[in-house]
Structure 1
Amino acid sequence: MREIVTIQAGYYANFVGSHFWNFQDELLGLTDSIENDQIFKSHGLNMDVLYRPGETQQGILTYTPRLVSMGLQGSLGSLSSRGTLYKEIQEAQVGSLTWTGSVTTQTSQPLQKNLFLQSLDWEENTNVDRSGAYDNAQNEAHAEVQDKDIVESLENEVQYWSDFSKVHYHPQSLYELCGLWTDSKDFNNYGIGRESFSGGLHAEQVNDRLRFFLEECDHPQGIQFIVDDSGGFSGVAGEVLEIIADDYPNIPVLLYSVRSPDSCLDPSHRKLTIARRLHNAVSFAKQSALCKLIVPVGLPSLSTSKMSKYLYLEDRKPYHTSAVYASALHSISLPFRMEPHAPSAQYVSTSGAVTMNDLIQILAGQGRQNMVAVLDASMPAPALTSTGFQQPLLETLQPLTPETAEDVEDMQALESMIIHGAFASGSERASVCEVTEAVQAAYTNAVRRPRFSRLSVAQCPLPIPLPYPSIFGKLVGERGELFNTQVSDSSSSRGSLEVHSIPMAARLRSSIAILPFLENRLQNLWKLGIARGALGSEILGSWGFGRDDVEDIGETLSDMVTKLNPISKASSDSD
């Protein structure tokens, strides 16, 4: 078996991760349910790649994510850092026998669970599942009303990623960075994260947890690392990546650096703006040097992107935007746990399964050695027609990587795409062969073609669990069908009660489209941190970076730009 260990670091990364694990939990539930669509029962995924079987001290069998999640103290909300499955008997507190004075105990009340978490407790205690197997019509009506209340509650009240998590976690999975003498809003740059993590026992404790999951793997294929790159956890991730490079040099790391829309805006204060731009350059350069492939994820606005035709998104809600990014990450990870199929020839290579390392070689190989990729997604993906796709598939793919160039010609581009759950011209799911032929036709007729494109196809769509946000517009049907006229509905958006699954397409590509992203970071580092009289040199010094360190970071960025476009490097040097 080819196991994957997942790491999540930071506030927004855990929002993305919470949605990601909800998808996996939903797939597990749909597979076991008798009444659900057969397409979910034969999804062809090996869930053991992401999950580990276990057993509590009471002999109860468990199945939990192979996950290490990191956050600031208090970031778990009402969730215990020990999880909920492995409940241990608390040791009796022994008081001092020599103290005869009065004792004052100060305790804080635990956070109250919201309606969704309360409903999970109710289901577990009463042995009732969400498939509708209730004792009588009265209970069924009550459950329907409750689900509507739950959806409304989540839309208005989510504060923590645990507020909408439906997954049980292992006690080794949830780690809080305790003892930080700084406010969470000041934990906002690479330097403070690096200092906070390396200055205490955090590195040792996180490494112990990572070792716990990795050493029980038979043949780990890689580490899936999701980091909130907008603040201090980028520095934490850098330290963890160094641990992995030292202790597990043969295990590849696929790193997703994610950001919420509000973190993409420069602050109004000039010094903070300089610090933010230097942080962006330092964080990306340090992380990219310590992983096999880095994928920046996070647009300044999803609500104004081409996805807004079918999705109703509020950029200010991390609960909304993280759901989109998690959907894309779920899709991209599917080939890592699919059964292999025979490849087909022609310009587009098709095969179901691919290991994480093979994907990295596809995108970073063939002489390019580009360690950064662009993530695109089509959500929901268009249906097939007799002549191809309902809409041009390649035009519906929305870049989720910021600062990417559009409509660029790159004869050396390398791509890997996954399409799953696509419809044929009617309401039936398209076969793997039909999707393959349509994609090959789309690339053959495209004006701009990559050097190589690999395709994975699956019939199982993306399941929409109950705690998924209400982000679908009125042109989206119950199974993710795309309509030309709006569905009759009183609400402005539709959620899990109206939309149960959707077809998806996602793509990773190595392309010169990423050049603006790289050039902006290189130029900001040069102007603000390296050039004579640079305004940010003092800031970088306070982060623990000397002149030589900063120049090394600049060289890392410069090399990445040069490998993609030598002319661009020459131009930046002349500036």
Structure 2
Amino acid sequence: MREIVTIQVGGFANFIGSHFWNFQDELLGLAGDPNGDPIFKNQHLDMDVLYRTGETLQGIATYTPRLVSVNFQGSLGSMSSHGTLYDHNPPVPSHVVTWPGNVSTHLSEPHKKNLFLQSLYEEEQENLAPMDGINSGKNDCESEIQDKDIVESLENGVQFWTDFSKVHYHPQSLYELNGLWMDAQDFNNYGIGMDVFSEGLRGEEMNERLRFFVEECDHIQGIQFVVDDSGGFSSVAADFLENIADEYTNTPILLYTVRGPESYMNRRSRRQTMASDLHDAISFSRLSSFCKLIVPIGLPLLGRSKVSSYLCLEDEKPYHCSAVYAAALHSISLPFRMETLGPAMDSCYVSGAVDVYGLIQMLAGQARQNIVATLDAVMPAPSLTGKQVEQSLLGSLHPFTPEIAEDVEDLQEVESLTIHGAFGSGGYRASVSEVEDTVHAAYENATTKPLFSHLSVAHCPLPIPLPFPSIFGNLVGQHGELLGSPVMGGRPSRGSLDVHSIPMAARLRSTTAILPFLENRLGNLQRFGIARGASGTELLRSWGFAKDELEDTAERLSKMIMTLDPHSQSSSDSD
């Protein structure tokens, strides 16, 4: 067994995680559904890589994500921090023996379950006490109406990432940062979160939860770490990562730093923009120093980017944007859990399995350490032989990483490309070998191509679970096929009731296209934090950074730039 432990830190990271685990739960359900789509029957994905087996005190078998989720106290909505599988009713003392006076109790009203969570609860109760299927036609009709109500309520009412989560979590998975008496809007820079991990028992409690999952692994292949780095959670994650690097020295860490479009909307004044720029430089430099591979994700205007050619996204809704990023992370992680099959079976279902360590070594290329990779994806992926240029599969991949250069020719570029559920020219699901032949032919005829490209292919598409947002445009068909004309009489945005699965393509690249991203962070740190009379010096001092620490940070960024571009004139010295 080659297990992966997943860590999610911060609000947007947990929104992404909620969609990610919904995809996994949907795959598990479809694989076991006798009436389900046959394409999901032979997935040849080892879900034990991400999940653990266990049982409750009552002896009921459980199958839960190997996950540690960290967020604010109160961020779980109607869900208990102990999850939903285990009854946990802490004892409440009937009286206080050390106080002779009157005692009053103040309790806040718990958050009510929305329609979706209510439907999950009712379904579970029905499974516990099954009834004879009388009037099944009527029940099906009521269920269909209920599904429409559920989809509408989620579109208009998601507040917490748990509002649309269909997954059971282990009691060790959900960790709330108690005692932070501030709004998420105020927890908005690296400095404000610097002491959070070390205060009280938080750091030890988070380490204990991770240790619980790691120690039961037979042979852990890596840690998949997702952090919302737009505010104070980046420093919480950095301290957590530092502990992980010390305790699990030989365990590779694949770090995704994510942020939603709303985090870019808060930069109104010049001072706020400067503070954000300094935060970005400090956050990226420290986070990247504790992992082998870091992937920055999050466009300022996702809904207006080329990524959204066939999508209808509302940037102000984390529920929408996180779904797109989660789909890409699902695709990129497929090679880590592909089953290794014989040569005759590979061409039928999956091909190109690789573990976390192998991916990192591949992208590292010529001794590039602490690799910064870009993420590109297309959702949904066009057919292998799209007649229009903008519909060709490789040409439709667009960056999910911000501030990168386009159309860069990098002779040392290395990539890992994953394609699954792709359609062939006749509107049927293409075989694995057909996908491989098409991609290889495309690169042979290309004027520019990477130094090395690893291709992973799966026959199984991305399933669209019920709580997925209605973000597909009316040119997307039921199985994710791209239509020549809009769906007649359909809604402008389509969700899980209209689109049941989609083909996906995503890739990670080690490329010089990331240079503007790195140079912007180095330049802002020099201009606002290090140069003589810099306007951000006092702010950085209030965050706890002395001048020598800032110079070390700049030197680290400069080395990353020089590694990618040896001819770069970047230097940590200020002008």
The TM-score with structure 1 as length reference comes to: 0.95
RMSD over aligned Cα atoms: 2.1
8 A contact 1:293–1:360 mirrored in 2: yes
Deviation at 1:534, TM superposition (A): 1.1
Aligned to 2:347: none
Structure 1, gaps ≥5 residues long: 345-349
Deviation at 1:395, TM superposition (A): 1.5
Aligned to 2:213: 213
Change (3 A) 1:266 1:165: closer
8 A contact 1:417–1:507 mirrored in 2: yes
Aligned to 1:15: 15
Deviation at 1:339, TM superposition (A): 1.7
Aligned to 2:197: 197
Matched to 2:105, the amino acid is T
Aligned to 2:239: 239
Change (3 A) 1:479 1:110: same
Aligned to 1:289: 289
Matched to 1:45, the amino acid is L
Equivalent-residue separation in structure 2 for 1:176 and 1:253 (angstroms)? 23
Three-state SS of the structure 2 residue aligned to 1:210 is helix
Deviation at 1:92, TM superposition (A): 5.3
Deviation at 1:94, TM superposition (A): 4.4
Matched to 2:485, the amino acid is T
- Post-superposition CA distance 1:439-475 (Å, at most 9, x none): 0111112222110000000000000000000000111
- Post-superposition CA distance 1:48-69 (Å, at most 9, x none): 0000001111111100000000
8 A contact 2:173–2:209 mirrored in 1: yes
Aligned to 1:523: 523
Deviation at 1:194, TM superposition (A): 1.7
Deviation at 1:103, TM superposition (A): 2.1
Three-state SS of the structure 1 residue aligned to 2:236 is helix
Change (3 A) 1:389 1:51: farther
Change (3 A) 1:89 1:278: closer
8 A contact 1:474–1:489 mirrored in 2: no
Structure 1, 425-434 or 365-374: larger mean CA deviation: 365-374
8 A contact 1:410–1:450 mirrored in 2: yes
Equivalent-residue separation in structure 2 for 1:276 and 1:135 (angstroms)? 59
Trace 1:299-310 onto structure 2 (pairs within 5 A).
Answer: 299-310=299-310
Change (3 A) 1:419 1:69: same
Matched to 1:461, the amino acid is P
- Post-superposition CA distance 1:412-433 (Å, at most 9, x none): 0000000000011123211111
Aligned to 2:472: 472
8 A contact 1:342–1:351 mirrored in 2: no
Structure 2, gaps ≥5 residues long: 345-349
Equivalent-residue separation in structure 2 for 1:570 and 1:281 (angstroms)? 15
Deviation at 1:537, TM superposition (A): 1.4
Deviation at 1:387, TM superposition (A): 9.1
Aligned to 1:355: 355
Matched to 1:427, the amino acid is G
Q: Indicate yes or no: 2:419 matched with 1:398.
A: no
Trace 1:145-224 onto structure 2 (pairs within 5 A).
Answer: 145-224=145-224
Change (3 A) 1:351 1:278: same
Trace 1:42-53 onto structure 2 (pairs within 5 A).
Answer: 42-53=42-53
Trace 1:411-560 onto structure 2 (pairs within 5 A).
Answer: 411-560=411-560
Matched to 2:115, the amino acid is L
Change (3 A) 1:492 1:388: closer
Change (3 A) 1:192 1:81: same
Three-state SS of the structure 2 residue aligned to 1:478 is coil
Structure 1, 193-202 or 140-149: larger mean CA deviation: 193-202
Equivalent-residue separation in structure 1 for 2:337 and 2:543 (angstroms)? 40
Three-state SS of the structure 2 residue aligned to 1:567 is coil
Instruction: Using the aligned pairs only, state the percent identity.
Output: 64
Structure 1, 323-332 or 263-272: larger mean CA deviation: 263-272
Three-state SS of the structure 2 residue aligned to 1:241 is helix
- Post-superposition CA distance 1:127-147 (Å, at most 9, x none): 299xxx885111111111100
Matched to 1:4, the amino acid is I
Aligned to 2:113: 113
Matched to 1:445, the amino acid is N
Deviation at 1:273, TM superposition (A): 1.8
Deviation at 1:47, TM superposition (A): 0.3
Change (3 A) 1:386 1:264: closer
Deviation at 1:196, TM superposition (A): 1.7
Equivalent-residue separation in structure 1 for 2:406 and 2:97 (angstroms)? 73
8 A contact 2:292–2:369 mirrored in 1: no
- Post-superposition CA distance 1:3-34 (Å, at most 9, x none): 00000000000000000000000000001110
Deviation at 1:271, TM superposition (A): 2.2
- Post-superposition CA distance 1:475-531 (Å, at most 9, x none): 111001111111113311100000000000000000011001000000000111111
8 A contact 2:53–2:61 mirrored in 1: yes
- Post-superposition CA distance 1:147-182 (Å, at most 9, x none): 000000000000100000000000000000011243
Deviation at 1:341, TM superposition (A): 5.5
Equivalent-residue separation in structure 2 for 1:383 and 1:454 (angstroms)? 20
Matched to 2:178, the amino acid is C
- Post-superposition CA distance 1:351-402 (Å, at most 9, x none): 5210001000111122344610000001111112399999322210010000
Aligned to 1:347: none
The TM-score with structure 2 as length reference comes to: 0.95
8 A contact 2:288–2:370 mirrored in 1: no
Matched to 1:537, the amino acid is T
8 A contact 1:266–1:276 mirrored in 2: no
Three-state SS of the structure 2 residue aligned to 1:12 is helix
Three-state SS of the structure 2 residue aligned to 1:312 is coil
